[in-house]
Chains A and B, each alone.
Chain A
Amino acid sequence: MKEVLDEVVRKTLSGFNERLEAFGPNLLAMLVILAVGVLAALAVRVVVRLLLPRVGFDRFAARAGLTVVLQKGGITSPPSSVMAVALAWAVLGVFVLLAVGALNLEIAMDLVSRSFSYLPQLLIGAAILVLGSLVSAFLRRSVLIAAVNAGLPSARLLAGGVHTALMILFVAMALEHLGVGRHIILASFTILFGGVVFALALAFGLAGRDLAREFLERVARRREEKPGDDLRHL
């Protein structure tokens, strides 16, 4: 009985040894790649953090409205710092994928190959979001200023509406590009916008019929009553 037990233990251990011998180098390679990845990510973070402010990235981000977008999202660090952290994580992510690939397991290889093939879409999706937030912020500001200069009483509401609509559009575009619930997003987007327009039309045309008439009459009256400026500014 004891001999049988010894034999089983011996076979188990030798099997483990064999598997360890076969798998050990891969494991070691994974750890080395991970360590290199951590160092590379740190290096990227430090270099980018130093370099970007010197080439005026923070100033550009402030001008383009990116700083405001970040602040609205609760991020108070300078945009160069945020960019450094994002790039460091991206580098680390690539190394993690490489490390997993080094294990040479079928499932790991499959994961790595899928991740790498998905990476371009992810990057384009992120770019659409960043560009979208910049464009939305710029247009929000333009609409706000134009509305104030035109003397509209609800300038902020108008600008906020434009911003929200554009952000919804860009998020939908990014998600559609990532292939996340493609049909659901398209359908939701169509229904949402169609619904809003329909609701507005109904509200203004039916329920607010009198209000609309009064409003138009008031505008017409104001045009007749209020004298224009004869000032020549130049």
Chain B
Amino acid sequence: MKAVPLPESVARRLDELGEVDLLVGIPSFNNATTIGHVVRAATAGFAKYFPQRRAVIVNSDGGSTDGTPDVVSSSEFATPDTILVSHQLTPVQKIVTPYHGIPGKGSAFRTIFAIAERLGAKACAVVDSDLRSITPEWMQLLLGPVLQGFDFVSPLYLRHKYDGTITNSIVYPLTRALYGREVRQPIGGDFGFSGRLASHYLTKPVWESNVARFGIDIWMTTTAIADGFKVCQAFLGAKLHNAKDPGSDLADMLVQVASSVFDLMSSYRERWAQVGGAEPVPLFGFPHGVGLEPVNVNVERMLGIFRGGARDLHEIWEKALAPETLATVLEVASSSREPFLFPEPLWVRVVYDFAVAYHRRVMPGEQLLRSLVPLYLGRTASFVLGTAGSSSDEVEAIIQGLADEYVRQKTYLSERWA
């Protein structure tokens, strides 16, 4: 295993600190306006829930030019006027360090894992630096289960029924069917994990790959489940954060997410081939429902793109899809059924066929996955039309039904993969 390079000053600081119990890592790049709140919430969480523990906050920065590291260093939770019910016995320490390697969240996490290992941290968490909804309770929910013996805590957020459609239609049901654990939001972004798991992550030879750039979330979740670590979920409430870069469009998102999941399928082929069915994992926190305020969804545009794909992408889809799947997709596209329906079993076949095609490298991976966009929009349009009057619970039941369909058709995937 190659050692993670750390600046001399940081290495000296780590030597001075010795061992810690808790560590919270915050990757950042130009987040000066929001990171202060995250640091204060973490500090308050340590004081409120873990006053006896030695804790450290690590900011792994990608070369911010807006003074992000300075904000981290200067952010304090308690002012002279603050009255605290409980006090930290030893003050929360802060380490601000640049990370090395390929620019991306994965490289930032790698530095955090290395520091966690060096400090012998028992429980660690990583949280996004642009979070606006983080509260001190998040520390308890992400770190507490680890101190009770769990190795990986996946977040469960409060979301609108139409939020996270890639997660709901691909990532969650596919991960559940492949690895047999019901982790509802595998690409949530804020996780808790044990020091043991951090060391395990560091042994993996992925730090020059896409994991270092954008695939770290699903990689952490999948590695924890597939390598047999104890996994649970924690309900964190709503996740509010800065709007994403408008330049990052749907096709880019889909390519990044799907390629990460499909790459992991190749790595863990032996593991998922042995899994049948899916089991729930323990849940910490107190889940509650969400309001159903109307959300603008342009279904007409989605269907237009899906039908355009059926008309023009035939030559590409026939490389990816099995003949009978393609025939059914074309039938669905030309159907005048009202409301439009893209059946769940067909969608599962489409995803499995694309996973196999990606694995066999029938064409350049990025082109292949970009051609999935019209199919995804067709399925999403069908989902939106079919759940227009449904409550959150009813929609959740539909998503669970889709996840079960993924499990039922897993034999098809195994046969085609071989």
Residues of A near any B CB (own CB < 8 A) = 59, 62-63, 65, 68, 138, 141-142, 144-149, 151-153, 155-156, 226-234
Contact = CB atoms under 8 A, between A and B. Distances in A.
A68 B364 CA distance: 14
Given A138-B364, A149-B374, A151-B301, A144 B313 contact: yes
Given A144-B313, A148-B313, A229-B297, A234 B187 contact: yes
A229 B298 contact: yes
B367 A141 contact: yes
B164 A232 contact: yes
A151 B253 contact: no
Contacts of A147: 312
A131 to B, nearest CB: 16
A101 B203 CA distance: 64
A230 B305 CA distance: 17
Contacts, number: 87
Interface residues of B, number: 36
Contacts of A153: 308
B252 to A, nearest CB: 11
B380 A231 contact: yes
Contact of B167 (A146, A227, A234): A234
Chain B, interface SS category: helix
A231 B370 contact: no
A230 B374 contact: no
A150 to B, nearest CB: 8
Contacts of A65: 363
Contacts of B315: 68
A138 B370 CA distance: 13
A159 to B, nearest CB: 8
Contact of A145 (B162, B296, B313): B313
A106 to B, nearest CB: 53
A234 to B, nearest CB: 6
Contact of A148 (B163, B187, B309): B309
Contacts of A151: 301, 304-305, 308
A231 B297 CA distance: 6
B166 A145 contact: no
A231 B383 CA distance: 12
Nearest to A60: B361
Given A142-B367, A149-B250, A231-B380, 9 more contacts: A141-B367, A146-B251, A155-B312, A231-B163, A231-B295, A232-B164, A234-B164, A234-B187, A234-B253
B386 to A, nearest CB: 15
A226 B300 CA distance: 10
B344 to A, nearest CB: 18
Interface string B270-308: 000000000000000000000000011110010011001
A63 B374 CA distance: 21
Given A142-B367, A145-B370, A151-B305, A233 B296 contact: no
B308 A231 contact: no
A226 B301 CA distance: 9
A186 B187 CA distance: 54
A145 B370 CA distance: 7
A233 B361 contact: no
Contact of A146 (B163, B311, B363, B370): B370
B363 A63 contact: yes
Contacts of B304: 151
